[in-house]
Structure 1
Amino acid sequence: MTETKAPPGGEEEARAKQLQWRMLFGFVGGLIAGLAAHYGAAGAGWVDSATTYVTGPIGQIFLRLLFMLVIPLLVSALIVGVAEMGEMRALKSVGIRTLLYTVVVSSIAVAISLLLVNLIQPGAGVDPALARNLIAEGAEGARAITDRAGEAKSGMDALVAIVPSNFIGAMSENDVLAVMFFALFFGIGLMLVRTPQTAALKTAIEGVFEVSMKLIGLVIRLAPIAIFCFMFNLAAQFGWDLMVRLSAYVGVVLLALGLQMFIVFPVMLRLLANKSPTAFFRQTQEAFVMAFATSSSNATLPTALRVAHDRLRLPDRVARFVLTLGATANQNGTAMFEGVTVIFLAQFFGIDLTLQQQLMVMLVCILGGIGTAGVPAGSLPVIALILASVGVPPEGIGLVLGVDRFLDMCRTTLNVIGDLVAATVVSAGTKDEARPSPA
């Protein structure tokens, strides 16, 4: 009797599904345990000790392991993705489609968020006494953010800083835009120079990519534990209180994100890629969970690349190019969050922004969504800059710090899924090796 073996691809898919379930159990378990600790042992010393010395460090070590590996992954993926375009015409075609898609979809996202926040006006319904208390509670964190915003480059300085004078320095400072510029430029050089030596160099860089993916795959096995820790910390410290106290603001942000996720993205998938939205969301479940738990587009990049290859069956050269750029340059959720937060705080402080000022906010949010760091809370310094530019006290950002962690998780999920939608749409218009997508 002959034993039939499952194909390797089937084994990988089974392992991925098992990991998804373990991550989901970690998420639910951490949330339940955290809420139980918050409401059943409020003020108990062991809760603070657990979050400070156990769950907090475990979550941070997991993130640091991912960040340690994500720069070599990002650099190698982008260099190889560009080099595999074959010729400048192919790179130009994919690059232009990616840029047009990003600008159009980001504009739709910000327009939706500004329309909703003006119609619902969540800032007009906040109790002033409660708001003063929340601002006081977040005063220290707000000062740190406004200080970071003051140190941030803007205008021409920010544009010039995209070109690194020292690539190693840019990596050490975690300047993702500068690192991506170098990788893009180096990939173009590798594409243009075709010698045995550059072929060997390309093979070596592909080896860096494969080693990075393998190591990240090992780290990802710890994800269920880390996700449990993230959710325990969030629920144990805050419970549902802050969510309830700022429910109108949170509700507008979630409504805006939901419209983009479940209306705009499905329309894009159906019209531009002829892809079933239901199948797409089923195939990207693992990326959903990882993005929500880590609150970081960069930390979720390895998972997104694997989902694009294994589940969506997208061409590698297109997926690597679009997803690595998208981790920093296609952040719809971040743009929407920034727009809602700025108008919300303007409403709270009684500052009536003119149409021209709101259009300026919209433009800066689109650019902010393109250039914001793909790390937890990376959009807060950008919001502080926008607030100052339209005459709203930047300290008001302290009002939303308490709920930012939860909203960061939600907007990062939209960012990552938006990157995968972009890769699917761009791939649909690319002549490449066809790999049938699973139903």
Structure 2
Amino acid sequence: MTKLALHWQILIAIIVATIAGLVTGTDASLFGVSFYAIYGFVGTLFLNALKMIIVPLVASSIITGIARIGDSNSLGRLGGKTMLFYAASSLLAILVGLALVNITTPGIINGQAAGEQLNLTTDANELAMVVEKVEGKSASDISDVFLRLVPTNIIAAAAGGQMLGLIFFSLLFGFFMTRIDKDKSDVMKNFWQGVFDIMMHITLWVMKFAPLGVFGLVAKTVAATGFAAFSPLLIFFVTVVAALCIHTFITMPLLLRFLGRVRPGLFFKKMSPVMLTAFSTSSSSATLPLTLETVEKDIGVSNKTTSFVLPLGATVNMDGTALYECVAAMFIAQAYGLELSMVQQFTIVLVALLTSIGVAGIPAASLVAITIVLGVIGLPLEGLGLLLVTDRILDMMRTAVNVCGDCVGTVIIARSEGEQTRIAAS
């Protein structure tokens, strides 16, 4: 019997969890143990497993990716152009998401914060601490984001969840790992590649239990609130989808037309197999071989450009992921009833931009990055469980956007290098 795909397993889990939550409520029990407590245990266990893999996954992903770039000896003009474009495109994606989430306000229903509907923390003292921690931030706190990039103790920073410091350290480590004696460098590269391969397997193994985790989280929420939780989640889902579509079909075509001097319609026609593969696999890394072949043979970009820009993009360029992180953080903040100032929202933008480079190109890895964003701005990780309900389909969509952004960047950079593609505008 063919095994069901993960997204179908998660969909079935959501349906079963909804029924179970409605039937059992918060009071039903078995042998003295309430079903509500069982749901909470299963959901928390899955969230703990996700948190467990954060540090080694982020560190090994960045170190191996930067080491590959350093080996290419292309960190000059081409590298500078590539990093500049990827930073700019990710920033544009984040700003699109930020604008849309401020318009739709998915975390606010009928003028009230949706935290109670979503079964988030309602304890007055705990909520007051969250409000004080988040709303107490000011413009001076932006400097703290940069200070966290250079921690005094990298081990303590990682243990304390200060992931920005770990990201910066990993970037430096990966770069200078290629600047030492070759025999020592090879040992370190093999070690970190081994760690990364292991963490990818662990992450994929943990995600096999996603249906159980989703079941526990959804059943607990439905048991406490009924169907009330689905209204804000639906608005959140539509907000993310709309933002991804705006970035893909408005922002990127404009960049292609005016910077790349190519025909956007023909570009999307030729890249459709790549985007469909990225959508179905939810992995920019798994899609990379097809991406390289299509951009080089069908679009006409040189091997020199594609072999550098696309692998780098699969490592550090995550337009869709960065957009999603921003919208998710704003959604959870709204659900807690927090009114974030422009400075605080800018902090979210900055952190989403920085953390998107540390996301491995594998399914659901962006959930790891969202914990970093929530932690930096002071929001409880409790809200992460809500995102799992809609995450699978959104993960597929944002991966397609990530890969599309890589290809757009490759075409534009090829144009800046004087290359003439097969889809150049007349």
Instruction: Using structure 2 for the length normalisation, give the TM-score.
Output: 0.62
Matches within 5 A, 1:315-394: 315-394=302-381
Q: Deviations over 1:371-419 (max 9, x none)?
A: 2222212222222222122232111111111111111111111000000
Question: How much does 1:431 deviate?
Answer: 3.5
Matched, 1:117 2:101: yes
Question: How much does 1:438 deviate?
Answer: 8.9
Q: 1:161 aligns with which of 155, 170, 176?
A: 170
8 Å contact from structure 1 (residues 330, 415) kept in 2: yes
Matched, 1:416 2:408: no
Q: 2:277 aligns with which of 269, 273, 290?
A: 290
Question: Are residues 79 and 431 of structure 1, via their aligned partners in 2, closer, same or farther at CA, if it must alter by over 3 Å?
Answer: farther
For 1:391 and 1:381, locate their aligned partners in 2 and report how far apart those are by CA, in whole Å: 16
8 Å contact from structure 1 (residues 313, 436) kept in 2: yes
Question: Are residues 134 and 294 of structure 1, via their aligned partners in 2, closer, same or farther at CA, if it must alter by over 3 Å?
Answer: farther
Residue identity opposite 1:120 in structure 2: T
| Stretch moving more, 112-121 or 386-395 | 386-395
Question: How much does 1:133 deviate?
Answer: 8.5
Question: How much does 1:122 deviate?
Answer: 0.6
Matched, 1:263 2:250: yes
Residue identity opposite 1:173 in structure 2: V
Q: Deviations over 1:187-226 (max 9, x none)?
A: xxxxxxxxxxxxxxxxxxxxxxxxxxxxxxxxxxxxxxxx
Question: How much does 1:352 deviate?
Answer: 1.7
Partner of 1:173: 195
Partner of 1:431: 418
Q: 2:241 aligns with which of 254, 268, 276?
A: 254
For 1:39 and 1:380, locate their aligned partners in 2 and report how far apart those are by CA, in whole Å: 22
For 1:160 and 1:268, locate their aligned partners in 2 and report how far apart those are by CA, in whole Å: 32
Q: Deviations over 1:303-326 (max 9, x none)?
A: 111111121111111111111110
For 1:32 and 1:400, locate their aligned partners in 2 and report how far apart those are by CA, in whole Å: 17
Residue identity opposite 1:172 in structure 2: G
For 2:383 and 2:14, locate their aligned partners in 1 and report how far apart those are by CA, in whole Å: 27
Q: 2:387 aligns with which of 400, 406, 409?
A: 400
Residue aligned with 2:354, SS:
helix
Question: Are residues 79 and 284 of structure 1, via their aligned partners in 2, closer, same or farther at CA, if it must alter by over 3 Å?
Answer: farther
8 Å contact from structure 1 (residues 253, 337) kept in 2: yes
Question: How much does 1:436 deviate?
Answer: 3.6
Q: Deviations over 1:253-307 (max 9, x none)?
A: 1111111001100000000111111100000011111111111111111111111
8 Å contact from structure 1 (residues 298, 374) kept in 2: yes
Partner of 2:80: 96
Question: Are residues 339 and 309 of structure 1, via their aligned partners in 2, closer, same or farther at CA, if it must alter by over 3 Å?
Answer: same
8 Å contact from structure 2 (residues 355, 373) kept in 1: no
8 Å contact from structure 1 (residues 114, 339) kept in 2: yes
Question: How much does 1:370 deviate?
Answer: 2.3
| Stretch moving more, 124-133 or 300-309 | 124-133
Unaligned runs of 5+ in 2: 20-60, 123-157, 178-187, 199-207, 219-226
Residue aligned with 1:172, SS:
helix
For 2:375 and 2:14, locate their aligned partners in 1 and report how far apart those are by CA, in whole Å: 36
Question: Are residues 250 and 371 of structure 1, via their aligned partners in 2, closer, same or farther at CA, if it must alter by over 3 Å?
Answer: same
Residue aligned with 1:122, SS:
coil
For 1:421 and 1:302, locate their aligned partners in 2 and report how far apart those are by CA, in whole Å: 16
Matches within 5 A, 1:230-249: 246-249=233-236
Residue aligned with 1:258, SS:
helix
8 Å contact from structure 2 (residues 284, 402) kept in 1: yes
8 Å contact from structure 2 (residues 300, 422) kept in 1: yes
8 Å contact from structure 2 (residues 314, 361) kept in 1: yes
Residue identity opposite 1:116 in structure 2: L
Q: 1:279 aligns with which of 253, 257, 266?
A: 266
Q: 2:118 aligns with which of 131, 137, 160?
A: 131
Query: Cα RMSD (Å) of the superposition?
Result: 4.0
Q: Which has the higher helix share?
A: 1
Partner of 1:221: none
8 Å contact from structure 2 (residues 107, 335) kept in 1: yes
The total of aligned residue pairs comes to: 306
For 2:13 and 2:378, locate their aligned partners in 1 and report how far apart those are by CA, in whole Å: 41
Question: How much does 1:129 deviate?
Answer: 5.3
Question: Are residues 155 and 309 of structure 1, via their aligned partners in 2, closer, same or farther at CA, if it must alter by over 3 Å?
Answer: same
Residue aligned with 2:262, SS:
coil
For 2:121 and 2:389, locate their aligned partners in 1 and report how far apart those are by CA, in whole Å: 8
| Stretch moving more, 245-254 or 149-158 | 149-158
Residue identity opposite 1:421 in structure 2: V
